[in-house]
Structure 1
């Protein structure tokens, strides 16, 4: 259904802002939420704000990906190619997406305990899980396994990224961390570790033994799931970490 009526012509109970106030944002469709951001429609196409929002989502869906997945990384210029979307509307949409990302990533002052592969994957989901390029991240922990910092160290091609152990340990020492978890994503969704993944993990485990900074796990994330190399390999038996 495409809305051609102005929002002002809709009954109050069907207007996005009024519905949000009465029912909460969670109960609105993506098109209604987007309509609140862009506020006005497209005169040339005789579309209301909701109709224009539906059109935006349809155009983003032409990438053969979920529209919200495209919206997460879309550039303002791409939005401005859609008739009815100028700099002001594009900037509003991009700002809202970025604010959502920062809200999701925000951590309160109390330290987050990272005491399992599941909790580590949850911390890393926004940065790694759905990315189209391979990224390598490190979680830096204190002696009680509480999170001190998270950092993306490299962003690679669509299929691989390269990282040297010294870059990882340099960051760990700089942050004053006493334990670490490393992670990267496989954009393909295949969570099986590659020979390079295994080799890097072996190097880091040996380095961790030498520096007395235990490596707790190496996670591979992708397509809504994760794999723990600690649970799926014998590397930690071969290179004990003295935790």
Structure 2
């Protein structure tokens, strides 16, 4: 990528977080400043730190950046395609560093194991995301995927799609999880309806529903532990 020199008017603006990063470490730099360091330069009308601050206001939570699309980023004034790609590349690199070696299967031995596996995926999101983990006979995670986004409703979460994918992946069981954007983990009537429906279908097709986790603000509730799945 061609180097674009910073304008004199914004050099001092970006040098402050850069110098702090160099001499005091990454922890001394705010989320806005980290974004500014990735974007590198602003526009003729707006310094880069101001663009980064405005983006953070739109996101509300830094965790929302991991679900933000290229199209959404480029709607932000001052962020074109190149800057959006730089941000998304940094997010993807963070995901890859945080993820386990795909050759080393993650093992679910308890609800806490399952919660730890999906906590970063589901915390801080502004919409409900329904995620399925497909397990083999040793409770190793074969695959995980988000199958539904939106308010949870038994009529919208289709068991046939979930169990068709489970059969395709030769899964012995599944474990499902979804988040509550409010941060609470109290199950709603819809949560319980979806759980009952999935458990019943699982018994019919011979694929056990091991648990249904509700993820809050870095907290979780296991419907299995609460007695809703027997």
- Distance apart, 1:184 and its partner CA: 1.7
Q: Is the 8 A contact 2:152 2:190 kept in 1?
A: no
Alignment-derived partner of residue 239 in structure 1? none
Q: Alpha carbons of 1:8 and 1:201: their partners in 2 closer, same or farther (altered >3 Å)?
A: closer
1:74-89 → structure 2 map (5 Å cutoff) = 74-76=68-70, 79-80=73-74, 84-89=78-83
Higher mean Cα deviation, 122-131 or 78-87?
78-87
The structural deviation recorded for 1:126 is: 3.3
Cα separation, 1, equivalents of 2:84 and 2:133: 34
For 2:223 and 2:85, locate their aligned partners in 1 and report how far apart those are by CA, in whole Å. 41
Question: CA separation in 2, counterparts of 1:19 and 1:191?
Answer: 38
Residues 1:59 and 2:54 aligned together: yes
Matches within 5 A, 1:1-243: 6-7=11-12, 16=18, 20=21, 24-45=25-46, 47=47, 52-53=48-49, 55-63=50-58, 65-66=60-61, 68-76=62-70, 79-80=73-74, 84-105=78-99, 107-156=101-150, 159-161=151-153, 162-236=156-230
- Alpha carbons of 1:23 and 1:146: their partners in 2 closer, same or farther (altered >3 Å)? farther
- Residue-by-residue CA offset, 1:39-69 (whole Å, 9 max, x unaligned): 2344445x4xxxx22x134213444823x24
CA distance in structure 2 between the aligned counterparts of 1:170 and 1:82, rounded to whole angstroms: 39
The gaps in structure 1 that reach 5 residues or longer are 237-243
Structure-2 change in CA distance of 1:93 and 1:221 (3 Å): same
Q: Post-superposition shift, 1:123?
A: 1.6
Answer whether contact 1:130 1:223 (CA < 8 A) is retained: yes
Secondary structure class of the residue paired with 1:118: helix
Say whether the 8 Å CA contact 2:130–2:178 is kept in structure 1: yes
CA distance in 2 between partners of 1:60 and 1:179 (Å): 41
2 CA distance for matches of 1:81 and 1:155? Answer: 22
Offset of 1:160 from its aligned partner?
A: 2.6
- What is the root-mean-square deviation in Å for CA atoms of aligned residues? 3.2
C-alpha deviation, 1:34, in angstroms = 2.5
Question: d(CA) in 2 for partners of 1:82 and 1:168?
Answer: 36
Alignment CA distance shift 1:182-1:8 (3 Å)? closer
